[in-house]
Amino acid sequence: MKKVIFSVLVLGVVACMDMSNVQPEQNINYPAAYIVNGESSTLSVINLNTNEVATTIQLTDGSSTSTHGAGHTATPGFLAYPHHIYINAAKSQIAVAAPGVDLSAGHAGGTHAGTGKVAVLDAMKGTNVKIFDVPMSNHNAVFSPDGKEIWTSQTDGKVLVYDATTYALKNTVMVGNGSAEVTFSFDGTVAFVANGEDNSVSAISPITKTVLATIAVGKNPVGAWIGADNRMYVDNEDGQTVSIIDVKTLKIVETVALGFMPGFVAYQADMKEMWVTDPTAGKVHWWTKGADGKMTRTGSFSTGAGSHAIAFNAMTAYVTNQEAASVSVIDIMQHKVTKTLTVGLKPNGIVIKL
């Protein structure tokens, strides 16, 4: 109840304040990591040259929440619970989804009946390019490999494909129930969507927009995360497993038992390691891939409460910690946190622009 009261108070302040400079133009002309802060409705931008937070961008929803009388300029509202972030191939735009519900505690039942939004921002300036509604709650919004489309899922079992220039709806692909994260394989040949309520992953042709295969995985999958080894790594929250899919065959090649609810999975190609965040313990666990392609549990290290998304940049990793409002900077070879950066509330998604 306190959270609801706080949100109302914040919106009341937003309605009465001058927000003409709510998105001042940035100059992000440096290698950067963008972190989505779900409760703060902001992006924290880390300068990768210094590993310091360089700026904070307010995420707005393009609507008017003004309660002023005639003659006053309408003011924009905040983007509600932004979740996950992707960048286009040209590194010029970033896309953020706003499902309108807090997904930080897990995804079981974490949907709502309202509409979702997609916000497209200029990656250098940090300002809105376009904000558009989608019919239902959406888990993420991702650019197609060629940058010409934006794909977003709907919790009622659809993937919507929009033109990235006109923002017109081009295709609707029917998938499974409770569809969550949409991702593309490393080589861009297949799109994947995790169907949480059906315990499956749909593989889709980016060209024909048809389902190539429906792959049974563990209980309550959230995302099929990209591996540079031509595999996709599916985090099954309730099943507490990772299902590994071969992109060429669209078959499960291994199921890894975790013993905890996963938050995110990432494959580090240089070290041949699978990293899995453990939000409950505030840790990252890692497995090493052997010559036979199988994963062996190797070790773990602490990051922060609610550890979630992982991004790699050369031999440095970044982990968002949702409950700690921080990002851990990690030396990959030593599996050691070297710095902790304070960001906004409930940080979740992260993407890197070099």
pTM: predicted TM-score of the whole model, two decimal places? 0.90
Sheet with 42-47: strands ordered across: 52-58, 42-47, 32-37, 347-353
Domain residue spans in the chain? 30-67+74-353
Q: For every one of its 354 residues, what pLDDT tens digit does the chain have, with 9 covering 90 and above?
A: 333 333 333 333 333 333 444 689 999 999 999 999 999 999 999 999 999 999 999 999 877 554 434 444 444 689 999 999 999 999 999 999 999 888 876 655 444 557 899 999 999 999 999 999 999 999 999 999 999 999 999 999 999 999 999 999 999 999 999 999 999 999 999 999 999 999 999 999 999 999 999 999 999 999 999 999 999 999 999 999 999 999 999 999 999 999 999 999 999 999 999 999 999 999 999 999 999 999 999 999 999 999 999 999 999 999 999 999 999 999 999 999 999 999 999 999 999 999
Q: Which fold has domain 30-67+74-353?
A: Methylamine Dehydrogenase; Chain H (2.130.10)
